C-alpha cells in the first residue's frame, strides 16, 4: 500500500482548497487516469481511435454530503487532511507525492 506525502508547496494550496465554504465535508482524492481516447472520423470515412497521453494519477478535492468515509483502507490521514484513494491507488506501492503547480495539484508515484 502506497503512502502519501504533501510537498511544502502543496500543503497551503490543499488547505486553501479545503477551506472553501461549501456544504458538507471535503478531502483530497487520488485516482488513476488512463490514456485519453477519442473516436474520430477520417476524411476517407474511416473511424479511428486516437489515444492521447496524460498523467497516470490525479489528485483533486472531492466533497461528501455527510462526512468523509471512515474506512481505513480507503482513507489515509496526512497532517490532519483526509486522503481518499481509489482502488488503483490502494493497490499501488511506493509513495504518492502530491505537489502544487499554478494552484492545481500534481501527483507522482515514487517507487518504494
Say whether 64 sits in a helix, a strand or coil: strand
The mean pLDDT value of the chain amounts to 88
| Beta-carbon contacts of residue 38 (< 8 Å; ≥ 6 apart) | 49, 50, 52
Burial of 18 (0-12, 13-18, 19+ CB in 10 A): middle
Asked if residue 104 has pLDDT above 70, the reply is yes
- Among 72-76, 83-87, 97-101, the least confident range: 72-76
What is the number of alpha carbons within 13 Å of residue 31 lying toward its C-beta?
9
Residues, the chain: 112
Asked if residue 83 has pLDDT above 80, the reply is yes
The CATH number of whichever domain residue 65 belongs to comes to: 2.60.300
* Residue 95 structural domain: 3-110
**Overall domain count for the chain:** 1
Percentage of the chain beyond pLDDT 90 is: 59
Amino acid at each position: 500500500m502506497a503512502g502519501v506525502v504533501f510537498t511544502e508547496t502543496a500543503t497551503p494550496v490543499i488547505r486553501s482548497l479545503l477551506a472553501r465554504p461549501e456544504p458538507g465535508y471535503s478531502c483530497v482524492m487520488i485516482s488513476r487516469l488512463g490514456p485519453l481516447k477519442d473516436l474520430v472520423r477520417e476524411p476517407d470515412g474511416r473511424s479511428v481511435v486516437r489515444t492521447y497521453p496524460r498523467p497516470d494519477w490525479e489528485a483533486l478535492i472531492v466533497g461528501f454530503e455527510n462526512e468523509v468515509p471512515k474506512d481505513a483502507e480507503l482513507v489515509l490521514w496526512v497532517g490532519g487532511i483526509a486522503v481518499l484513494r481509489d482502488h488503483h491507488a490502494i493497490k499501488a506501492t511506493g509513495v504518492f507525492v502530491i505537489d502544487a503547480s499554478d494552484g492545481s495539484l500534481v501527483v507522482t508515484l515514487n517507487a518504494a
